[in-house]
Structure 1
Amino acid sequence: MVDSDPRRSIPRTDRLLAMPEVIAAGEHLNQTTIKAIIAEVQSAARSGEIPVAEVTPTIVSRLGSRSASSLIPVLNATGILVHTNLGRAPLSPAATQAITEAAGYVDVEMDLDSGRRSKRGTGAKAALLRACPAAEDALVVNNGAAALLLAVTALRGSTSANVASANPGAERQCTGATPSEIIVSRGELIEIGAGFRLTDLMTTTGARLREVGTTNRTHLADYAEAIGPDTSCLLKVHTSNFRVEGFTASADVGQLRTLADEHDLPLIVDLGSGLFTPDPSLPDEPDIDTALRAGADLVIVSGDKLLGGPQAGLILGRTEAVQTVAKHPLARALRTDKLTLAALEATITHTANPIHDALHTDPVHLRERTETLAEAVGAAVVDHDGRVGGGGAPGVPLPGCAVELPEECAQALRLGDPAIVARVHQGRCLIDLRCVPESEDQRVAAAIGKVLTSNHLGDHA
């Protein structure tokens, strides 16, 4: 009996490797990658996902389009500025150029004048201090969680006198053991994306969390009553991804500073989103300058949120506090690389910033762009509120508009070229241009037109 199973005719690996197109792909891809792509396509043919006849052209196509990285650039049409699933803040042209220039050998830890070793990240640190005059010193680590972990670890056992307290003469009676309690309000024990809880992070240091107050109301007296010989620091965390409204109360940084001075304790403030100074567009979003002037020893923020820079954890504050953190052995394990330092410095020192531009976009111009797109694809314009995202300004709408398409368009747009990520909401696919560079508008229109035509959805848009 003749076996008619077409899978037996799947081309052998050695024959596929000998194809001219595959050999040519070896100029930019290594053999491990090429063989992996061939194996994936062969496996897809064996499982019936693609016809056997499509094995060779599929391999050629994938090798031709395969870049060194598997990450796919996308256009963010969700209206969410800091979209964690899309890499948070897009870098500015200046930051992108800085990364390219820093990709080779650079003087990241060398004084070119003397030829000797120098301190790491001095340029980024200087830029941070210029942008935030209330900070006496600064340190950059690899993300916000690392900054908090390092701060609570390094300041355990450090008295406020060691970190430039306004009341250096104050003393606490201590048991002799390293203080291990971090006092924090119950209303600030937050969980962020992917189930990550700040409480779990802090307890990995061996510290104990002393929760005070209630979810909606925590008073200064609650902190005062909890302070004891095992208290290591006071911690205030900005509830960056949710809001508690109604019958609420909390102690501000200034009040906590007074209490910390009375008991010779360091005060750490984790703000998260990274505004240097107040922004009228986000009147309730706390900023670094205000927190430091109110008395925080250390303020912790992320670099890839409202700051608009690369992933980084920024620690700013009093000199003694920052130096205590910087000298801790864990700081070496959490330090950032030269590319991040270059991008961060460029983000701070240059004016162009995609996050800032999206936040302060002209609503009239945004509507004009949206109406032009809607007319080009035969769709309707609807009101749509953008969001900061990434744990910034929770619940604060950014009034705008979007092009309304059938929900079925969303997947096709994500898989197209360019890949466009829209918002799917209440059975609709919404294209919000707030975070899309205006130079891409025509490509977006062409991509939508192609999807509507191929799916015969134009009459329903």
Structure 2
Amino acid sequence: MGIFKQLGLREIINASGKMTALGASAVTDEIAQALKDAAQDYVDIDELMEFTGKVISESTGAEDGCPTCGAAAGIAISTAAVITGKNLSLIERIPNTAGLRNEIIVQKGQLVHFGASIGQMIQIGGGHVVEVGQANKVEQEHMEQAITENTAALLYVKSHHAVQKGMQSIEAMMEVAQRNGLPFIIDAAAEEDFQKYIAMGADIVIYSGGKALEGPTSGLICGKKEWMEACRMQYKGVGRPMKVGKEAMAGLITALRQYPLRTSNGEQQIARMTHLCNRLEAIAGLTCSIKQDEAGREIYRAQIQVNEQRAGISAEKLLHLLEAGNPAIYLRHHYVNVGILSVDPRPLLEGQEDIIADEIIRIVKGG
């Protein structure tokens, strides 16, 4: 019996994805052991921070790294770092940055809500958000014309939450930053390639440790050494209330070392979701197909279209009933307003796709 069931909480079947609201990832035995061992021992935290930074560097190809308690903290810490550098007096002023170069340029379509606001994370780090362009169209001139003597950095948000069309590319935004001598930050929280953006030339890249990496609740920043040293120094200021513990760092190190050993499971995802679709296609009002992740990652989800008239139930009602059950089944519901629900195979334990199919069929048939 799982720990949460022992505590009297409902069992969860997570078909939504590596979602913070559902605990992100279920870690391997090796990572769990690292968490346990770290929790039962002592270490000099500053030494562990620097060592974790070296492991991050080795894993990403960056000059250095900084562990965090999550990618959201990474945004705040990175923002603070580009404003204060390693100046302790300025670090202790954050988030009060009046009179400092504190403007962070972000494309309007990327100022999204991921469970909280990107803009708020920037502000926590002392940044003043400068949004450029329109929600569905940004020109290079918008970025150029937004740069002033108060600009501290340009930030690109690589996320399925962000507008995917009409935005300037990473390369275009990076070129503007480099031409103007400004640091370029990429929020790549859920991305799977931990070397791509450093290789492209980004100064600072932020990842979640609990999503694609499948580590514990944690995050990592990687990039140029001067900025990583400044990031670590933020733990003397704004980083203190979001400090990362010894357990998370030990688990993060283990996850980073395991990551290159993982093999692609795209074919397995497709096979599992095809099996699910074949079962659901037999039910009136349900159509099901396999769709690759909209941000281009190697994720193949089952997309369920609910025809309310034929099925006798709306997608929204079906979602509610699935989540209200025990076990509670959480599907991906970004497009529930147009009758679409999705099943993400990555977090599913063995055989859970059949449990999902059984419950959907029971609900639709009025069982």
Into which bin does the TM-score normalised by the smaller protein fall? 0.7 to 0.9
| Larger deviation, residues 140-149 vs 323-332 | 323-332
Provide Cα deviations, 1:130-166, integer angstroms capped at 9, x if missing partner. 3222x1111111122211111111211549xxxxxxx
**For 1:458 and 1:187, how far apart are their aligned partners in 2?**
37
| SS at 1:438 equivalent | coil
**Residue type matched to 2:60 in 1?**
C
Which residue of structure 1 lines up, in the alignment, with residue 48 of structure 2?
120
Superposition deviation, residue 240 in structure 1: 3.1
Which residue of structure 2 lines up, in the alignment, with residue 185 of structure 1?
107
User: Of the candidates 142, 150, 153, which is equivalent to residue 77 of structure 2?
Assistant: 150
**In percent, how many aligned pairs have the same letter?**
21
Which residue of structure 1 lines up, in the alignment, with residue 57 of structure 2?
129
Which residue of structure 2 lines up, in the alignment, with residue 272 of structure 1?
189
Which residue of structure 2 lines up, in the alignment, with residue 6 of structure 1?
none
**For 1:209 and 1:122, how far apart are their aligned partners in 2?**
30
| Alignment map for 1:36-185 (pairs within 5 Å) | 69=7, 71-76=9-14, 78=15, 80-105=16-41, 107-109=42-44, 119-121=47-49, 124-133=52-61, 135-158=62-85, 177-185=99-107
Whether the 8 Å contact between 2:76 and 2:123 is mirrored in structure 1 is no
| Larger deviation, residues 332-341 vs 379-388 | 379-388
**For 1:426 and 1:184, how far apart are their aligned partners in 2?**
28
1:343 and 2:251 matched = yes
1:323–1:70 CA distance, 2 compared to 1 (3 A): farther
Structure 1, unaligned stretches of length 5 or more? 1-64, 110-116, 160-175, 277-287
Which residue of structure 1 lines up, in the alignment, with residue 196 of structure 2?
290
1:383 and 2:305 matched = no
**For 1:201 and 1:438, how far apart are their aligned partners in 2?**
37
**For 1:428 and 1:260, how far apart are their aligned partners in 2?**
41
**Residue type matched to 1:304 in 2?**
G
Which residue of structure 2 lines up, in the alignment, with residue 223 of structure 1?
143
**For 2:148 and 2:357, how far apart are their aligned partners in 1?**
65
Which residue of structure 2 lines up, in the alignment, with residue 54 of structure 1?
none
| SS at 1:151 equivalent | helix
Q: TM-score, normalised by structure 2?
A: 0.72
1:438 and 2:350 matched = yes
**For 1:383 and 1:354, how far apart are their aligned partners in 2?**
29
Higher radius of gyration, 1 or 2: 1
Structure 2, unaligned stretches of length 5 or more? 87-97
Which residue of structure 1 lines up, in the alignment, with residue 91 of structure 2?
none
**Residue type matched to 1:104 in 2?**
Q
Whether the 8 Å contact between 2:272 and 2:353 is mirrored in structure 1 is no
**For 2:143 and 2:365, how far apart are their aligned partners in 1?**
62
Whether the 8 Å contact between 2:188 and 2:206 is mirrored in structure 1 is yes
Provide Cα deviations, 1:235-288, integer angstroms capped at 9, x if missing partner. 22224314343xx351534x4444434433222222221322xxxxxxxxxxx4
| SS at 2:215 equivalent | coil
1:313–1:446 CA distance, 2 compared to 1 (3 A): closer
User: Of the candidates 260, 263, 269, which is equivalent to residue 180 of structure 2?
Assistant: 263
**For 2:117 and 2:365, how far apart are their aligned partners in 1?**
47
Which residue of structure 1 lines up, in the alignment, with residue 268 of structure 2?
361
Whether the 8 Å contact between 1:155 and 1:266 is mirrored in structure 2 is yes
Which residue of structure 1 lines up, in the alignment, with residue 231 of structure 2?
325
**For 1:256 and 1:429, how far apart are their aligned partners in 2?**
33
1:201 and 2:121 matched = yes
1:398 and 2:336 matched = no
Superposition deviation, residue 418 in structure 1: 4.7
**CA RMSD across the alignment:** 4.5
**For 2:326 and 2:30, how far apart are their aligned partners in 1?**
26
| SS at 1:102 equivalent | helix
**For 1:459 and 1:205, how far apart are their aligned partners in 2?**
51
How many pairs does the alignment contain? Answer: 341
Superposition deviation, residue 233 in structure 1: 1.8
